Amino acid sequence: MMRIGLTGTPGVGKTAVASILSGRFTVIKIVDLAAEKGYLGPIDDEFGAKEIDIESLASTLEKEWQEPPENTTVIEGHLSHYLPCDLVIVLRCAPHILRSRLDQRGYPEWKINDNVEWELLGGPWNEIGSDHVPWIEFDTTGSRPEEICDMIQKSLDSELEGTESSSVLDWAEDIGGS
Ligand code: ADP
Ligand code: MG
C-alpha cells in the first residue's frame, strides 16, 4: 500500500475530501503527525497557528517510512508535499471561489489575500517541482468533495501515470476572463 500526501492552499477542500476518504483509507492530519513526533511548535502570534518543523518531520519520516504501510494512508495538510510520500495529490481552486470559501470561514482579510495569492501563483507548485514524486492535481472549483473523492479513487484504481506538467492549472488564464 502507499502513502499519499493530500495538499493544497487552505480552503481548497482538503479536510472535506479527507473526511470522506477516511471511510476507505487511513487518514492522518499532518499536524497530528508532527505533534506525535515532537515537531509541532508553540502557537505563532502572527499566524495564530502552531508551526510545524517540516524539515525535521520529513527527515524523521524518511527513516521511519522504509516499509510501505499496511493500509493506504493519506496525510492531509498544506505542507504534506514536503513528506516522503509515494504520491502527492494537489487540490486546487479558482482564486475567486477560494476567496469566498475563506471569507465564509471567517478568515481575516490579510489571511484571505495571502492564501488567494498563493493559489494564484500555483499553490504547492510554488514549492515543489513536477519532478518531485508522482503527483496528480484536481480542480475543486466546480466539484463536490464526493465527486473529487471518486476521481481520486479512479486515478488510484487505474495505472497511475501522474499529471503531465502541461496540465497544471494556471489561474493566470482566468484573469481578465469570465
Ligand atoms: P482545507 O482543509 O483545504 O482548508 P476545507 O475542507 O476546510 O479546506 O474547506 C474549506 C471550506 O470550503 C469549507 O467551508 C468547506 O465546506 C468548503 N468546501 C470544501 N470543499 C468544497 C467543494 N468541493 N465545493 C464547495 N465548497 C467546498
Ligand atoms: Mg483543513
At 47-76, the pLDDT tens digits run 778 899 999 999 999 999 999 999 999 999
3-class state of residue 95 by DSSP = helix
3-class state of residue 135 by DSSP = strand
Instruction: Give 11 Cα–ligand 2 centroid separation in angstroms.
Output: 7
What pLDDT, in 10s, does the model give residues 109-135? 999 999 999 999 988 888 876 567 788
Q: For atom 19 of ligand 1, which residue has the closest CA? A: 13
Any idea which of 2-6, 62-66, 173-177 has the lowest mean pLDDT? Answer: 173-177
Name all domains of the chain by residue range, CATH numbers in brackets: 3-163 (3.40.50.300)
User: What pLDDT is attached to residue 133?
Assistant: 77
Residue type, 172: A
Residue, of 42 and 147, whose pLDDT is higher: 147
User: What pLDDT is attached to residue 101?
Assistant: 97
Q: Is residue 169 over pLDDT 80?
A: no
Instruction: Give 66 Cα–ligand 1 centroid separation in angstroms.
Output: 33
Q: Which atom of ligand 1 approaches the CA of 144 most closely? A: 23
Residues at CB less than 6 angstroms from ligand 1: 8, 10-16, 101, 104-105, 140, 143-145
Residues in the chain: 178
Query: CA 135 → CA 39, 41, 114, 130, 174, distances in Å?
Result: 25, 29, 24, 7, 23
Q: Is residue 178 over pLDDT 60?
A: no
pLDDT > 90 in the chain, percent: 71
User: What pLDDT is attached to residue 162?
Assistant: 56
Give me the mean pLDDT over the 131-155 stretch.
Answer: 91
Which of 51, 142, 57, 42 has the alpha carbon at shortest distance from 94?
Answer: 142
Supply 29's cell numbers. 492530519
User: What pLDDT is attached to residue 163?
Assistant: 57
Q: Is residue 27 over pLDDT 70?
A: yes
Pocket test for ligand 1, best of 12, 29, 118 (most atoms within 8 A of CB): 12
What pLDDT, in 10s, does the model give residues 85-113? 999 999 999 999 999 999 999 999 999 99
Instruction: Give 20 Cα–ligand 1 centroid separation in angstroms.
Output: 12
Pocket test for ligand 1, best of 9, 15, 80 (most atoms within 8 A of CB): 15
pLDDT > 70 in the chain, percent: 89
Enter the pTM of the model: 0.90
Q: For atom 12 of ligand 1, which residue has the closest CA? A: 101
User: What pLDDT is attached to residue 60?
Assistant: 97
Q: Kindly identify the ligand whose nearest atom is closest to the C-alpha of 10.
A: 1
Q: Kindly identify the ligand whose nearest atom is closest to the C-alpha of 92.
A: 1
